Chain A
Amino acid sequence: MYRIPICIGMVLLLLGAAAFGVSLWDGPAAWHTDMRTLWGTPIALFVLWIGLAHAGTLISAIFLALGFPLDRRTSMIAELSTLCSLVVAAMFPLLHLGIIENFYMVVPFLDARGNFANMRSPLVWDCCSIAVYAIASSIFFVTHLLSEKRESLKKMVRPMSWLLFPLVLWVHTVVSLDFAVTFVPEWRGAFFPLYFICGAIYSGLALVIILLMAEHCRVRLLEKLMLALSWVMAAFWLWEFMLKGTFSFEVVFLGAIVPQLLWLRPIRDNSFVIMLVAVSAILSLGLERYVLVTPSEYNVANAFGWVDMGLVVFSLGLFVTLFFMLRVRLRKPLEGDDVVMGELSVQDEESASPVKGELSNNFHLLRLPLLVGFLAMLLYVLWAVSVFPDPMTSLSVANIVPLCLPLLVLVAMVVLCARPFWLVLNRRTKYAFVALMGVAGVLAGMFWAGGSSVAAPGAVSVQELATFKPAEKVWEARCASCHGKDGLFNEKFVREFYPVPQKLSLERLDSLGTDSLVSVIMHGRINMNAYGDRLTEEDARGLVLYMRLLAGEGR
């Protein structure tokens, strides 16, 4: 079962792995970039795969929330494709970074040195939204998977779909803002969020249609929706052409003209053609993303090197392998007892459509999690605004708004499913979960500690300061009585008094840093007196420099 797709996927993955490896090793120099294109293929692939990842949640969560009749197996396939696409999509922003190991700096969480990610950047919003989206859709998938036999989880599916519904749209809006907030003329436009969402849904639907085809199943509803979206996309492309004059024939042909074949009945009845149409839709969106990310005067097709091609192949191979392997592995719980797939028949439809009482039941379940999520979000916003360290950055609440919904959904999701899951899961899974939380805690601690802080050699020069008298005079007048004229202890002092002053070794000065030393001089610390009333801050800085000089000389 599915041996051929897995084999094809593995071959593609192996071929593409070479390009992936080269890109990891060489960094951004590996793929095509030029004077105007600083991003290139990985970001195009990221946007494409994030778009494809929307289909699953769209189909199961939104259709479920709105009461469309789709059976469980079809939605499970779609959700699985979401998870796999998300894994593929997450690879590329990491690959894109110049220094991959610094990726954690994008997370908007304080570290011990007061570093904070720049919350004005769409990349920060992006990182958070997608992480939350990945967590939320995994929880949704697992709940859906386990819900068949367990009534307590079955109740959770619909409220969860209500939480995921806005999140899906939010995530792609944020992805579109990566482009829309910039100064690049090709990327500007207030219509970008809608444009990206429609493109994402369009390509995602095409992907699900192909995957369902592999199950020997067709869903007319999805095909109709794809046809409708091809018109929406055509409208957007026309709009963009009128606005900026950019137009790509291949994109419009593959994305807007080829799908019109579905109007013809003999063609529509042929599954193979449907598959081709879906592939052409994905191809069109992929091309469109690439053209968008690579605004250049040159012919981009010539610049598309083997690494770029290899990355495309890699993403495809990874997705196919991952999807079909999971599909085989999860065969039993995924298929359940269902034989039927696709749209439900009429009497099923009635049972699936919302009854008046059910909506209020969902609301009862959602009420507390939503409240907790809202409070958590509010707390975070207040904390982030109050703690933001840089006075030169005018951070407004509007900059944090994009993080609000993901945070709310994350907290609400966890609160919603914590109890039912705790009752359902067996002991081993619980232990594994606790261990996982422990690992997360360790990682958070590492984040708090921050990376290495070895200063670049030669960054600070104190040699020239040797000749400056005032700092030396201040030192001799105020500091030398305890710390000694040469920065060592004053021997007499050490013999007569108990509180021994700190050793001012270069290591210690380096580890404390100029700013904290200045604040110690100004405000005092333990046995050290405060000199804020006698010295200005600039004097204190001069003293710190003098201390470094003494430490460097004396020892």
Chain B
Amino acid sequence: MDRREFIKACSVVLLMQAFAGCRRVTLDTSSSMPSLEDFVNEVKMAASRSKPGFDLVQIPMPSALKQSGASPLNRFGMAIDLDACNGCGKCILACMQENNIPLSSKERRAAGQFMHWIEMRGGTPSMCFHCGDAPCEKVCPTGAATHTPDGLSTMMYKRCTGSRFCGANCPVGARKFNYDDAVKEGLSRRFNSEVPLRSKGVMEKCSLCLQRLQDHKYSHMAQFPGNEWRGTGVETACAGACPKHAIIFGNWLDPASPLVKAAKRKNIYAPAEVAALDPSVVYLRGNR
């Protein structure tokens, strides 16, 4: 091969490479979106692998928060009526659809790690207890985990660095970490346009359907300016989905709230791990 031929061959190879490089590469596989059935199946799978239940201890009815900035009118919370609940798991699915919770990858599922904000513990649903004296908020280095004046333990996803300190310090393991980029891996589906999809590397957990409360609050403020807002009529997704009406959402400081009415009839319990931390989400059992 002489010099001219060599140069020719090289340029041909280069040209072919350039063409190969220019063709449209379909590296992006995010187009696959999980179907609703995938979510249903995952919920079934999680419900079949129920974690051990809590030791429940009786607690008094939650009252106003002790923090100086807390609202004297509102403290939102929830009660799960253990006498009514039959552990069907419909709340988990409703929660996933309301909050755009992604599916877990195969390996994580095998290890029993799900992103579900509601989990079955001993056959009953459990989620973040929104402790008034929340241990997760104390250790969050950036202040991404904070309390609202209305008694919700909330997450600022933009402020989260993913140090997972809150997750380590949650006595009931209610916090879920986004190990995988669910959007890229085709594990998440945006059922609800009101709720942002979480990026890889941030913590998330039950928000007590904050977006519903927020929308209701702003529409109330626009509709009845100057009128105080107590969240009357708002319901979380899980409460709305429960066929037995075992999950009751409401305002602990509003005597007219369905939550307070239900809690007055029954005994109030909380898991022993969080009973001393002033939880806003409680269990009800046995008529008083």
- Name A's B-contacting residues (CB within 8 A): 27-29, 33-36, 38-39, 96-99, 102-103, 105-106, 115-118, 120-124, 127, 178, 181-184, 390-394, 451, 453, 456-459, 461, 464-465, 468-471, 474, 535-536, 538-539, 541-542, 545-546
Chain B residues near A465 (CB-CB < 8 A): 218-219, 222
> Which of B21-29, B37-45, B122-130, B171-179 participates in binding chain A?
B171-179
B148 touches A392 (CB 8 A): yes
What are 24 A-B interface contacts by the 8 Å CB criterion?
A27-B162, A28-B201, A38-B167, A96-B163, A102-B159, A102-B162, A117-B142, A120-B138, A182-B169, A183-B135, A183-B170, A183-B171, A183-B273, A184-B168, A390-B146, A392-B69, A394-B68, A458-B196, A459-B196, A465-B218, A470-B222, A535-B225, A542-B222, A545-B222
Chain A residues near B218 (CB-CB < 8 A): 465, 541-542, 545
A124 touches B160 (CB 8 A): no
B225 touches A538 (CB 8 A): yes
Instruction: Give A124 to B142 CA distance when docked, in angstroms.
Output: 8
Chain A residues near B171 (CB-CB < 8 A): 183
B180 at the interface (CB under 8 A from A): yes
Chain B residues near A127 (CB-CB < 8 A): 141
For the complex of A and B, the 8 pairs showing the least CB-CB separation, nearest first, are: A98-B162, A391-B69, A98-B201, A456-B196, A123-B141, A29-B179, A102-B161, A118-B143
A39 touches B164 (CB 8 A): yes
B31 at the interface (CB under 8 A from A): no
- Interface mask (B111-150 → A, CB under 8 Å = 1, otherwise 0): 1110000000000000000000001011111110011110
Name the residue of chain B whose CB is nearest to the CB of A183. Answer: B171
A391 touches B143 (CB 8 A): no
A98 touches B180 (CB 8 A): no
B35 at the interface (CB under 8 A from A): no
B69 to chain A, nearest CB (A): 3
Chain A residues near B54 (CB-CB < 8 A): none
Chain B residues near A471 (CB-CB < 8 A): 222, 225
Chain B residues near A468 (CB-CB < 8 A): 219, 222-223
A444 to chain B, nearest CB (A): 18
Chain B residues near A105 (CB-CB < 8 A): 141-142, 159, 161
B36 at the interface (CB under 8 A from A): no
B226 at the interface (CB under 8 A from A): yes
Task: Name the interface residues of B187-227: CB closer than 8 Å to any CB of A.
Answer: 193-196, 199-203, 215, 218-219, 221-227
Name the residue of chain B whose CB is nearest to the CB of A29. Answer: B179
B250 to chain A, nearest CB (A): 21
**Of the residues B169, B215, B227, contact of A184 by C-beta under 8 Å:** B169
**Of the residues A115, A461, A538, contact of B159 by C-beta under 8 Å:** A115
Chain B residues near A178 (CB-CB < 8 A): 165
B275 at the interface (CB under 8 A from A): no
Chain A residues near B177 (CB-CB < 8 A): 28, 38, 98
Given A38-B164, A118-B137, A456-B158, 14 new contacts (CB under 8 A) = A27-B179, A28-B162, A36-B173, A98-B201, A102-B160, A106-B163, A118-B138, A118-B142, A122-B165, A183-B170, A453-B158, A536-B226, A538-B221, A538-B229
Chain A residues near B69 (CB-CB < 8 A): 390-392
Instruction: Give A175 to B170 CA distance when docked, in angstroms.
Output: 19
Q: A28-B177, A538-B225 are in contact. Are A99 and B140 (CB under 8 A)?
A: no
Instruction: Give A123 to B141 CA distance when docked, in angstroms.
Output: 6
Task: Name the interface residues of B233-274: CB closer than 8 Å to any CB of A.
Answer: 273
Instruction: Give A519 to B70 CA distance when docked, in angstroms.
Output: 21
